[in-house]
Amino acid sequence: MSGRRSFLRGGVVLTVGNTAGSVCSFARNIIIARIISVDDFGIASTFALTISLIEMASNIALDRLIIQAPDGEDERLQATAQFFQVIRGLLGSVVMFAVAGPVAALFEIPEVTWAFRVLAVVPFLRSLTHLDQFRMHRSMRFAASVWTDTTPLVVSTALAAPLAFWLDDYRVMLWAVLIQVSLYVLVSHIVAERKYAWAWDRALIARMLGFGWPLLINALLMFGIFQGDRAIVGASISMEALGLYSGAFGLLMMPSLIASRVLQSLLLPMLSAAADNAPKFNELSAFAIQLSTLAGIGFAAGTVWCGDNLLVVFYGEKYAPAASVVPWLACMQGMRIARAGQSIAAIAKADTRNPMYANIVRTIAIPLAIIGVACGAGVEWVAASGLIGEALAAVWSQRLLSRRIGLPSMPVIPAGCAAAAFGVVCFLVAREFAGVGSARPLDFVWGTLAGIASVSIQIGFSSSLRRHLSDRVSEGPGVIAPRRPVDQPVREPEVGQEATDMQER
């Protein structure tokens, strides 16, 4: 299959698959949120917080090593990664069981300790996943991953309503998570082309640790980014406030995750294949950063108009009090999409410390939020703190790209600033009407037009972006070619040859 057809077909498969999976996950949460109380939905949200913390605390991105590494097709590398994954999963389950009591006490829900202990099985179950689906990404084959991601979500969504009516409290989320993880592991083995195997190779283990330790730190930072604000709301305010905030957060995070996952899965193989060709890599990196900026600002400009309406339409009138926080969350998620291209460019060069350092800056939002809540500020300040952190991380990440891997400044500032200015106007107008608690159909039209206008402004201001879009459709990328080992040392300020990540769950 030609490079162009691989690119277009892979993009379609990823977009459809990720959209279907995210929509199912979103629909499941809506079904549960509508049936159980806001307080119980808040308790259910603490399950996601805890699982995310344990998973991220042991994540060294073995899947991305297989995609990025020049010897990613090697069976022994894959088998060693699968065995190492089981070890970290078992460790995660032990830790989660041990901290179940303190976590329940932190959120002032000691009666739920038993549920956290049951959830301790999740890290071990997930560690049994077959990694062959990620090897297929190297040749732009994404169908196996789409089936693995989507099938469990479809089943758990279909069972959500019966379980919610039967249990009528937070336990429905416990069962939904267990069903989803079990099916994910099962389907990963069904779609695999290779036989599942374990191996132990000390040299490969050392290499994986070298690739993954910055990602491990980055994963903890990602927990603070994705879940820290909700943890602050739940621990410092109330379960009801957490339920409301989680509804609004989930509403805006779904399209953000779709965009980030599609961008990473589609662009990372393309940039990795050109990593040893500096002019080509710089050109493709410019495209990746511009495309991410285009998607992020367009998303934010559109959703600040109609996000509060969507919240009421999907979650119901009982979630209307959270409408005022939606514009802040829309801008925060839009900024996160916009800086996805920076992380992709860094990872393609095996400079996985770039996302880690950027996310260290991003965590400035956590003390800002804590101080604000301690001084009496509400959930709006928590979301605004996240937006400040995302903006600072984007600025720092771009500087690191230039210093660590020699990537020149990208021509996104004029177009980005123009579109961002338009988005600010949308935000200020939307804020005047936020919190009304009722659906206004006309706002959906205005939101769509605002997003289209923002995208058009960026394309209109950037001739290079127009050229890149045209080139990608006419040429497309190839598959990953063999290149240098990822464990060579870095000699700054030359091109980086280290290793670390990005996430997105």
**pTM as predicted:** 0.64
Instruction: Provide the residue count of the chain.
Output: 505
Residues 62, 64, 66, 69: what is their CA dihedral angle, to the nearest 10 degrees?
-120
Residues 6+ apart with CB under 8 A from 259: 295, 296, 299, 337, 340
Q: What is the pLDDT of residue 472?
A: 55
Q: Which of 343, 279, 277 is nearest to 501 (CA)?
A: 343
Q: What is the pLDDT of residue 430?
A: 58
Q: What is the pLDDT of residue 162?
A: 93
Q: What is the pLDDT of residue 185?
A: 94
pLDDT tens string 232-267? 887 777 788 888 888 888 888 877 877 877 787 777
Question: Alpha-carbon distance 479 to 6, whole Å?
Answer: 8
Tokens of 396: 């720092």
Angle formed by the axes of helices 38-57 and 171-190, to 10°? 40
Residues 6+ apart with CB under 8 A from 368: 385, 388, 389
Question: Alpha-carbon distance 343 to 400, whole Å?
Answer: 10
Q: What is the pLDDT of residue 47?
A: 85
Question: Alpha-carbon distance 491 to 505, whole Å?
Answer: 32
CB 337 within 8 A of CB 259: yes
Q: What is the pLDDT of residue 183?
A: 94
Question: Alpha-carbon distance 467 to 463, whole Å?
Answer: 6
CB 36 within 8 A of CB 320: no
Question: Alpha-carbon distance 19 to 150, whole Å?
Answer: 9
Question: Alpha-carbon distance 52 to 228, whole Å?
Answer: 11
Question: Alpha-carbon distance 226 to 274, whole Å?
Answer: 31
Question: Alpha-carbon distance 61 to 350, whole Å?
Answer: 12
Question: Alpha-carbon distance 291 to 18, whole Å?
Answer: 18
Q: What is the pLDDT of residue 503?
A: 36
Tokens of 178: 């267990």
Q: What is the pLDDT of residue 124?
A: 92
- C-beta neighbour count of 166 within 10 angstroms: 10
Which residues of the chain fall short of a pLDDT of 70? 1-15, 17-18, 56-60, 212-216, 218-220, 222-226, 352, 405-406, 408-451, 455-505
Question: Alpha-carbon distance 25 to 39, whole Å?
Answer: 20
Question: Alpha-carbon distance 427 to 304, whole Å?
Answer: 6
